[in-house]
Amino acid sequence: MLASRHPVLMDFVRPLDAVIPGVQGRILAVLAETTAELNLRTIARIANVSEAQVSRVLPGLVSLGLVERREAPPSALFQLVREHIAAGPLLALSRSRDRMIEKMRQIAEGLPLEPASVVVFGSFARGDADEESDIETLLVRPLGIDDSDETWSSAVQQWIDQVANVSGNNVEVLEVAEPDVPARLASKRSVWQQIRRDGLVVSGSSLESFQPAARG
């Protein structure tokens, strides 16, 4: 596998926590991920912080107008004000994984030689990639292109560099020629079992399209 040398930064499971560390980030993450009104106890439980910590942070967010407080005796309910100027970036950040998938598709389609298929596997594909996770990718080299082809080599390196720059995470590439994919997919090696089970196609042909056609 080819790998980027890039600082590992982004936690795609808790993206808001990664950018806004501490109790405030956890609380904002909880509020950004639901449209429901939540009481203080529920926020504390979901954010995995104490009720005392939540009670210290929420008034400041309310005073900013970013969080709305509504009295509902015997408690108060809180909700993110999604129209607030600061809410947009928070909501976008909370959807970092979906945005990253779309960005990877755009990167793949902009390469000097587009792979026959780009498949992300491992923790990112499963949805549990944190700040220590690599973005593992299968790049399928198109028919008629040799592995020494300069345009292809440039495309692979461009993929690694651009995905690493956008995500902040290390990028690993498994490169396979298109004619070899069916045999690899039938392999019992753990990496190919992961690809079959969790592989997420972000550009190009589906994994199913590489399977031999059934004969009647």
Please write the tens of the pLDDT for every residue from 45-63. 999 999 999 999 999 999 9
Q: Where do we find the tokens 């950004």? A: 32
Which helix (H) or strand (E) segment is 207 a member of? Answer: none
Supply the pLDDT for residue 4: 54
Is the same domain home to 85 and 122? no
Domain boundary, last residue among 91, 121, 136: 91
Residues 147 and 82 in one domain: no
Residue 106: domain span = 96-210
Does residue 119 belong to any structural domain of this protein? yes
* Residue 85 sits in the same domain as residue 125: no
Residue 168 lies in a domain: yes
Place of tokens 């979906």: 98
> Do the beta carbons of residue 205 and residue 132 sit within 8 Å?
no
CATH number of residue 71's parent domain: 1.10.10.10
Q: Are residues 103 and 177 in the same domain?
A: yes
Q: Does a structural domain hold residue 125? A: yes
From 91, 125, 149, give the residue that closes a domain.
Answer: 91
**What pLDDT score does 94 carry?**
85
Alpha-carbon span 185 to 198, nearest angstrom: 12
Backbone angles phi, psi at 117, to 5 degrees: -160, 145
Q: Does the residue 199 lie in any domain?
A: yes
Q: Which of 8-12, 46-50, 82-86 has the lowest mean pLDDT?
A: 8-12
Q: What is the mean pLDDT of residues 160-166?
A: 94
**What pLDDT sits at residue 169?**
87
- How many domains is the chain built from? 2
Do 106 and 206 lie in one domain? The reply is yes
Rounded Cα distance between 213 and 91, Å, is 44
CATH value at residue 159: 3.30.460
What mean pLDDT do residues 23-35 have? 93
On whether residue 9 sits in a domain, the answer given is no
Residue 133 sits in the same domain as residue 176 = yes
The pTM (predicted TM-score) of the whole model is 0.73
Q: How many CA atoms lie within 13 A of 185 on its CB side?
A: 20
User: Is the residue at 216 inside a domain?
Assistant: no
200-204 and 117-121 as β-strands: parallel, antiparallel, unpaired? antiparallel
The answer as to whether 167 is a domain residue is: yes
Please tell me the number of Cα atoms within 13 Å of 44 on its side-chain side: 13
Structural domain includes residue 59? yes
- Please answer whether residues 137 and 173 qualify as being in contact, where contact means their C-beta atoms are separated by less than 8 angstroms: yes
**117 and 19 part of one domain:** no
Locate 77 and state its tokens.
């309910």
Q: 70, 91, 112 — which closes off a domain? A: 91
Instruction: Give just the sign of the alpha carbon dihedral 127, 130, 133, 134.
Output: positive
192's CB contacts (< 8 A; 6+ apart) are 184, 185
d(CA 14, CA 94): 8
